[in-house]
């Protein structure tokens, strides 16, 4: 299979997995940087992730302009993706979701922090981006590049940021890794809400997070990917 075809198949699979694992529902999206054109990215037309097929995948410039839209309508919030690729050359995949357990951490002063080793990939400190700070009253949707760039800046060098009253953004060096972090971001939030009423929580230290991140590679991620492909009813392709 040609490189681009492999990437398109993996992107369909990523959509189905995120839906199956309840990180996205009818809303939320995942993209990948174009394998041959770093100044472009691939993202489905506006469609629920569990319904997405290869022919739904569109190509965009980093400014969010579609290359060959035909009759396909893009996601309004495609600017999240373009702005992350623009700000971070190391980023090869982006997920935007509204996964329910992360929402309380975006609207309170309770910081989301990993307490389980599998969740270290979310980073030691998960920042929260508040659209209100710079843009005042909006629909909270990231509907232009200015908002996208402001959100991307809030990531710093990290891999996750919460969006107040809205959801989260996850960036990663490849598609499988972005899916992995997104699934465990939801797990982290759920566990933290369960642990907090029980007493003082001992979170992972910065040093622990760094050590775990440094050894999280295909050995770990591909095992999860195989399992999630099975659960989502998708074939396991050779890693794109
Ligand atoms: Zn959204």
Give me the mean pLDDT over the 136-149 stretch. 98
- Report the first-to-last Cα separation within the chain, whole angstroms: 10
Q: How far is the CA of 176 from the centre of ligand 1 (A)?
A: 21
Contacts of 66 (CB under 8 A, 6+ apart): 58, 59, 60, 72, 74
Whether the pLDDT of residue 45 is over 80: the answer is: yes
Catalytic residue list contains 77: yes
Query: For residue 168, how far is its CA from the centre of ligand 1 (angstroms)?
Result: 8
pLDDT tens figures, 204-224: 999 999 999 999 999 999 999
pLDDT (0 to 100) of residue 135: 98
Instruction: Count other Cβ atoms within 10 Å, centred on residue 203.
Output: 18
Q: Which residue out of 10, 21, 77, 186 is catalytically annotated?
A: 77
How far apart (Å, rounded) are the C-alpha atoms in residues 117 and 208? 8
CA of 218 to the centre of ligand 1 (A): 29
How confident is residue 100, by pLDDT bands cut at 50, 70 and 90? very high
The pLDDT of residue 239? 66
CA distance linking residue 140 with residue 131, whole number of Å: 6
Supply the mean pLDDT for the chain: 97
State the distance from the centre of ligand 1 to the C-alpha of 137, rounded, in angstroms.
Answer: 16
**pLDDT at residue 2, rounded to an integer:** 87
Q: Hey, which residues does 94 pair with through a beta bridge?
A: 31, 171
Average pLDDT over residues 175-185: 98
Distance 219 CA to ligand 1 centre (A): 31
CA 134 to chain centre: 23
CB 106 within 8 A of CB 128: yes
């Amino acid at each position: 299979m040609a490189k681009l075809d492999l990437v398109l198949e993996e992107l369909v699979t990523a959509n189905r997995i995120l839906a199956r694992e309840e990180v996205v529902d009818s809303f939320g999206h995942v993209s990948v940087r174009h394998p041959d054109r770093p100044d472009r990215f691939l993202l489905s037309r506006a469609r629920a992730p569990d319904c997405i097929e290869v022919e739904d995948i569109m190509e965009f410039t980093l400014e969010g302009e579609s290359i060959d839209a035909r009759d396909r309508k893009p996601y309004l919030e495609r600017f999240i993706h373009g702005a992350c690729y623009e700000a971070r050359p190391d980023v090869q995949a982006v997920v935007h979701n509204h996964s329910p357990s992360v929402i309380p951490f975006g609207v309170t002063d309770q910081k989301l922090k990993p307490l389980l080793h599998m969740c270290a990939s979310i980073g030691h400190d998960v920042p929260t981006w508040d659209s209100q700070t710079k843009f005042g009253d909006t629909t909270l949707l990231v509907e232009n590049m200015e908002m996208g760039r402001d959100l991307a800046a809030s990531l710093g060098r990290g891999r996750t940021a919460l969006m107040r009253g809205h959801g989260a953004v996850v960036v990663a060096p490849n598609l499988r890794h972005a899916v992995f972090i997104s699934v465990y971001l939801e797990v982290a939030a759920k566990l933290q809400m369960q642990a907090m009423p029980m007493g003082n929580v001992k979170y992972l230290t910065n040093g622990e997070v760094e050590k775990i991140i440094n050894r999280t590679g295909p050995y770990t991620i591909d095992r999860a990917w195989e399992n999630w492909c099975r659960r989502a009813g998708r074939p396991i392709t050779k890693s794109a």
